[in-house]
Structure 1
Amino acid sequence: MRETNQAGIDLIRHFEGCELTAYPDPATGGEPWTIGVGHTGADVHPGLTITQSEADALLKRDLKRFERGVTLALCTEINDNQYAACISFSFNLGNAAFKSSTLLQKINARDFDCAADEFLRWNKAGGRVMAGLTARREAERELFLTPVKK
């Protein structure tokens, strides 16, 4: 299975941060509760605390889920930075959003310039433009457009 490169992991860590105590979603003030590096799920609840090594293990496990989802959705070859940008996008919005996105359609059509611009459309939560999402989508777009050094 293909793995996310360090640039992608760094991008995810930068925008997700790492919290060792569960916190509510900033857009809703509640669900989904999050812990570690953007980990959500039925195992996360108010009052939960974890160690840094548990946060690292959760990130590694979560990345595998998003790597599977992105890999299965792709019908064309993309470079490691393009892949990493897609993983960050999917990590933040979910595999279902990626699978149904125009972003994926443009990638699979090998229309990479238009695909890059699609990242920027996904900057709202609760119907509002969010500065953090805007910055994340710009960073994902930039990573997507960054050539891989061989």
Structure 2
Amino acid sequence: MTDRKVGPKALALMHHFEDCELVAYADPGTGGDPYTIGWGMTYYPDGRKVKRGDQITRAQADADFATILDRDFARIVDAAIGNAPTTSAQFGAMVALAYNIGVGPRMWLPGMKKGFRQSWVLKMHIAGRHAEAAGAFGSWITAGGKVKAGLVRRRNAEAALYAGDRAALARFTNGALA
């Protein structure tokens, strides 16, 4: 495992697509289960599941997100990538994807059959086929069995970050990131 870190562009991308909600809400993409809070979190750093009625502060949301992102996503993505040459932007984009789709079976989304560790994004990245890896982000655009416009934009933004395409990144984030 290396010591890769999620950079500010990737964090800004995740914050762009994950509004910070201080009161738990039912995730519309999964039919209400699991509940979500903060920056798209379905559980707390201590492992407790988010439940209806939970409330947190913005400071807690930021701290919990940082802990979960590093411990449960960045480290796992880093280990999965291994020694494959990886830019900071590529790493950040893959962590952003993993945060949204999960890292693998039995992650936090009910019924999920696979996640980042089984993804074509990872397979193509490790093989050094970066254009194909960027294209594979588009495989993850459905929720509840339906293509979601927000997921299409999110995957396009992640792929643009991965590819280092600043113009596309700006386009898919409505100018918020460039």
Class of the TM-score when normalised by the shorter of the 2 chains: over 0.9
The 5 A counterparts of 1:69-88 are 69-75=76-82, 76-88=84-96
Q: Which blocks of at least 5 consecutive residues in structure 2 are unaligned?
A: 105-114, 167-178
| 2:63 corresponds to | 57
Match of 1:67 among 54, 70, 74: 74
Match of 2:139 among 109, 121, 142: 121
> Separation in 2 of the partners of 1:11 and 1:147?
14
Structure 1 residue 71 displacement after superposition: 0.6
Relative contact order higher in (CA < 8 Å, ≥ 6 apart):
1
| 2:176 corresponds to | none
What do residues 37-90 of structure 1 show as CA deviations (whole Å, max 9, x unaligned)? 011123310011100000001110111120111011003020000000001000
Structure 1 residue 126 displacement after superposition: 1.5
> Separation in 2 of the partners of 1:10 and 1:127?
28
SS in 1 for 2:30: coil
The 5 A counterparts of 1:110-149 are 110-146=128-164
| 2:22 corresponds to | 20
Question: Would you say how many aligned residue pairs link Structure 1 and Structure 2?
Answer: 148
Give the alignment's Cα RMSD to 1 decimal. 1.3
TM-score, normalised via structure 2 length: 0.80
What do residues 12-37 of structure 1 show as CA deviations (whole Å, max 9, x unaligned)? 00101100000011123311111000
Structure 1 residue 147 displacement after superposition: 7.0
> Separation in 1 of the partners of 2:120 and 2:101?
14
> Separation in 2 of the partners of 1:2 and 1:73?
12
